[in-house]
Structure 1
């Protein structure tokens, strides 16, 4: 699903954790052409003759703790966002995000957003590299695979109790999907259940961009309840949260995205 390419900072995408191939090739972003994108953002194929292009990643600091991936996309409106990795510590979002861009030259345009506002918060934007990005990935993968403080905190326990007591109608809501996730990724995530592409609904915002949420219609309430065993398991290195939902909530979410 993810592209693999070679960059100056060493190695290629196959050296990354096998569960997260969040590396990119100089090609269109997961959104296709961004509404505000321009050829001026795109690196010429002759720009790096004799050497591979640098890995196009920046680090953001100071983000609101309730921000989403779509907020990051809006902040970099006009640039091609390949990945937004939210950094956690002790189970909590730190306000930092690593953002992989579609082309190396887009890093310079992203840096021009330094100290611009997201809501009432001004955001710091720094140049980063492959090593820092992969280190952040490794920390997130380790946290998601077990021993995470978020799994043992009292708040998390009461949160899970609410999920357990919720009524199942055969519909689940997913949160935390990578921007690049497609229906085939969701079907693979629920490979123990019989699903069709028509039963999977990937949510987009008013601009048609992925929000990181999806709804899945299962064959029965019993199936959706059994599928809750996948709650907080990983797709790539992103842990996916599952919530019991309903057809009414699904219809409302689809209407909001139109």
Structure 2
């Protein structure tokens, strides 16, 4: 059917010929920071009237459920399109964004697709949770939002320990959209990352991961010290707790580039993430030997490697220094 089917029919007493042929005004926005929220886009386009406010903004995600840096925004009217186009190549945070008008036929296809868009999903994925985190902590983190019964799935690593990731299913798309706004808020002293996800992506262990492990980037002497400290603490945590997640790396980045980025701090291990095709995803985890180094390393947040600014997320607890 026609996309207007979802709307209730207009009351008969006010025949409105305009309602028949509704023009669609849709903008495509590219080059957004990964952490960009619908709320920030609403402010960025504050001179434009956006249909249904935040609901008229569709942030798209890639196949892995990660933000793609693009959005489609429904505008009320042609003059709003003009105002939106004036924002082309203006800066939103540290990046300039590109703004294009979408033709009517593409717009209809996009709106249909937006219906099945993971952005319309009621599931989010959390990353960077403290190992001691309980379901109750997650409920508190999303206080005010309605989580369905048994809607929290904590992902365990291969040794059946808390992996620091979890999926949360909410009772509505709206609650999930609101949950995404809490990206980078804190539990304990750790940033929690909140990503869009879907029900079919929920899993409770890492066994299903297609690639066995991300490639280690050779830093042999440092790797030895990392394993030594693990033996000493009698637990596989140890240095594993002091890492920084990097996002936005150029694809051709090398381990050496990452070491230089954090110099003179000593990096003990680098895990580069790969996407489904084995290509680098632009993300990496960088391990340090102690909380203090990881904290110091955070001062490099939003500095550049080549043309790209790098976002850093802290995953380290002061308590986990020394022995467990």
Superposition TM-score, scaled by structure 1 size: 0.36
| Higher Rg of the two aligned structures | 2
Superposition TM-score, scaled by structure 2 size: 0.29
